[in-house]
């Protein structure tokens, strides 16, 4: 399967990133990878104490961490929020 291009907004650092995500990954694993990558890019300035959740920025739908990206409504061009 092809990768999915999304924009991810991180309110705690007020930044948005465009990222390619693999549709076969579980949402939980995707969140772990995003937290690690964003932390590294920002010199470890935002390392959350609790596991953040992933939301649709328009509908505020929270994604099930046990589902794969392909099983969710995440599609190319969507805007997501990591809180």
Ranges of the chain whose pLDDT falls below 70: 1, 45-48
Q: What is the pLDDT of residue 20?
A: 97
pTM summary value: 0.89
Q: How confident is the model at residue 54, as a pLDDT?
A: 98
Residue 40 has a pLDDT of: 87
Q: Does domain 4-75 have CATH number 3.30.200.20?
A: no
Read off the pLDDT of residues 17-36 as tens digits, 9 standing for 90 and up: 999 999 999 999 999 999 99
Which pLDDT value is given to residue 47? 64
HSE-CB for 20 with a 13 A CA cutoff: 3
Residue 70, helix vs strand vs coil: helix
């Amino acid at each position: 399967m092809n990768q999915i291009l999304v924009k991810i907004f991180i309110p705690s650092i007020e930044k948005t990133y465009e990222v390619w995500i693999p549709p076969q990954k579980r949402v939980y694993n995707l969140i772990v990878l995003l937290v690690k990558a964003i932390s590294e890019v920002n010199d470890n300035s935002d390392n959350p104490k609790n596991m953040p959740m992933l939301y649709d920025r328009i509908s505020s739908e929270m994604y099930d961490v046990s589902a794969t990206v392909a099983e969710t409504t995440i599609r190319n061009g969507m805007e997501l929020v990591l809180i």
